[in-house]
């Protein structure tokens, strides 16, 4: 099995509505985003997927979140903007962006800090 990973980031504010504790208050994170794709064999070009292509797709989605208050934008106006939900949202959007290569997408990890990550895995 081969796995490729790109790393990107965005900054955003959020507050967790259903949570009692520090994170119920408005605060921000510099989120780090790890996106991985897997395949049992590379294509004839020797790649699972072009890093640049995967990075471009991911960054177009992150652009929609960057420097926003996540609670005010879809789908986080209705669901909690937790790292888990952000990971699942980015996974779905990247998969759509990958079109026919979407099945290669394996996981999206959202790092809220250097020590805390939530991953959505296919
Ligand atoms: Zn937070």
Q: What is the CATH number of the domain that holds 55?
A: 3.30.479.10
pLDDT tens digits, 29-40? 999 999 999 999
pLDDT tens digits, 60-69? 999 999 999 9
Res. 23: pLDDT tops 90: no
Find the helix or strand (DSSP H, E) in which 97 lies: helix 83-97
Q: Collapse the DSSP code of 73 into the 3-class scheme (helix H, G, I; strand E, B; otherwise coil) and give the result.
A: coil
Q: If you measure from the C-alpha of residue 113 to the centroid of ligand 1, how many angstroms do you get, rounded to a whole number? A: 9
Where are the extended beta strands (E) located within 40-104? 68-69
Res. 100: pLDDT tops 90: no
- State residue 100 phi and psi, 5-degree precision: -65, -15
Q: Is 23 a catalytic residue?
A: yes
Number of domains in the chain: 1
Res. 24: pLDDT tops 90: no
Residue tagged active-site, from 23, 53, 68, 95: 23
Q: If you measure from the C-alpha of residue 68 to the centroid of ligand 1, how many angstroms do you get, rounded to a whole number? A: 13
Tokens of 68: 């926003």
- Which of 46, 48, 61, 120 minimizes the C-alpha distance to 94? 61
Q: Which residues contact 90 (CB under 8 A, 6 or more apart)?
A: 33, 35, 58, 61, 62, 108, 110, 120
pTM for the model: 0.94
Tokens of 54: 């995967």
- Residue 94 structural domain: 2-121
CA distance 94 to 85: 14
Residue tagged active-site, from 3, 24, 67, 72: 67
């Amino acid at each position: 099995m081969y796995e490729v990973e790109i790393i990107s980031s965005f900054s955003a504010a959020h507050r967790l509505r259903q949570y009692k504790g520090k994170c119920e208050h408005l605060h921000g994170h510099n989120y780090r985003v790890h996106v991985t794709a897997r395949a049992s064999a590379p294509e004839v070009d020797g790649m699972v997927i072009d890093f640049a292509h995967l990075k471009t797709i991911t960054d177009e989605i992150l652009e929609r979140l960057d420097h926003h208050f996540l609670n005010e934008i879809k789908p986080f106006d209705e669901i909690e903007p937790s790292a888990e939900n952000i990971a699942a949202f980015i996974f779905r959007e990247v998969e759509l962006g990958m079109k026919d290569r979407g099945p290669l997408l394996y996981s999206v990890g959202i790092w809220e800090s250097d020590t805390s990550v939530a991953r959505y895995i296919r």
